[in-house]
Amino acid sequence: MNKDGTLNDVAGLYSGLDRFEAGKKLWAELEETGLAVKKEPHTSRVPRSQRGGEVIEPLVSKQWFVTIEPLAEKALQAVEKGELKIIPERFQKIYNHWLSNIKDWCISRQLWWGHRIPVWYIVGKNNEEEYIVARNADEALEKAQKKYGNDVEIYQDPDVLDT
């Protein structure tokens, strides 16, 4: 599926069709060819956007993560060394358990609002393996020019930070 909700080239005959339109067309073709076995009502929980009510489709995409273990280790050591005190003390066990079983944190969100991820890609490069991390667009452009030349163009990752 494409990001705009149409089916991509892998969908063959249904390529370019809206996902709902493609579903109806596929079912009609199954009925026409006698391949449909039966039709019965089925209730399913379809996730919808809180803001606009649109259907949310699962789509595998690149996500940004923060490696949390080194941060958690420092936080655990701070309590162990007495640099940080948990009050009331009974919550120290919960604190230790939570930070000892921590997972990397996905910080990417595909929303229209929020603080943008500070990553810029090079225009014309199809793979997003090469990127520039910077505090702002000017700094990103300066770094990109040093690496790719003065005529380089960049664009910022559209994802926002999970704040």
What pLDDT, on a 0 to 100 scale, did the predictor assign at position 127?
65
Rounded to a whole number of angstroms, the distance between the first and last alpha carbons of the chain is 28
**Percentage, residues of the chain above pLDDT 90:** 75
pLDDT-based confidence at 145, cuts 50/70/90?
Answer: very high
Token pair for 69: 């273990």
Distances (CA, A) of 40 to 23, 33, 36, 44, 83: 16, 18, 11, 13, 64
Report pLDDT digits (tens) over 100-140: 989 999 999 888 888 999 999 999 866 667 899 999 999 99
Query: Taking all residues of the chain, what is their mean pLDDT, rounded to a whole number?
Result: 92
- pTM for this entry: 0.62
Of 72, 47, 71, 69, the closest CA to residue 57 belongs to 47
Give the model's pLDDT for residue 135.
Answer: 96
